[in-house]
Homo-oligomer: A and B are copies of this chain.
Amino acid sequence: MPRIEVLRLGHRLVRDDRVTTHVGLAARAFGADRIHLLNCDPDVKHRIDEVTSKWGGKFEAEVTEEWRGLIRTWKERGGLVIHLTMYGINLDDVITSIRNSKKDLLLLISAEKAPPEAFDLSDYNLAIGHQPHSEVAALAIFLDRYFEGVELKRGFQGSKVQIIPSARGKELEMSR
């Protein structure tokens, strides 16, 4: 299986904490393996780690202060770098060839303004629609298309609890 990691750029302290947490949780829930949190409050990593500990799986959150080296190394090892931006080419035009490449993917997810270098350093600048919306939505839609919806039914190993789908109310089961 190709490895999928997310690099969260442009996080502004405090202001973006909750959105960055949502980016991390969406990355995990929709099938990515790791998120790199650039210049981010360690509390955000802590909240993501708590979810992984309770709900299972091997998702990793890392706080980092450097991103250009990460991109360079990723490309040297043959992985693709994909920047999600409303200015890019349409997702549907290239998602099949990205999936078929079977290459590891590093997804660049920016808060409001992407650093100009992100456009140049990436193999693909990809748009999830050409309207302003949300990097959380963009990441979720990308992963949903990449995995063709299968990720929504996959299990997470080692969870302490799991949900029993219910038409009314909340049903939880403690894992054995």
Contact = CB atoms under 8 A, between A and B. Distances in A.
A156 interface: yes
Interface bin, chain A: 35 or more
A144 B127 CA distance: 14
Given A87-B169, A89-B167, 8 more contacts: A18-B19, A19-B19, A29-B132, A29-B137, A92-B152, A120-B168, A127-B163, A137-B137
Main secondary structure on A side of the interface with B = mixed
A133 B169 contact: no
Contacts of A25: 131-134
30 contacts: A16-B18, A18-B18, A19-B19, A22-B136, A26-B134, A26-B136, A26-B137, A29-B129, A29-B132, A30-B137, A55-B132, A87-B163, A87-B165, A87-B166, A87-B169, A91-B152, A119-B169, A120-B168, A125-B167, A128-B152, A130-B162, A131-B156, A134-B136, A134-B140, A136-B136, A136-B140, A137-B140, A140-B140, A140-B141, A141-B141
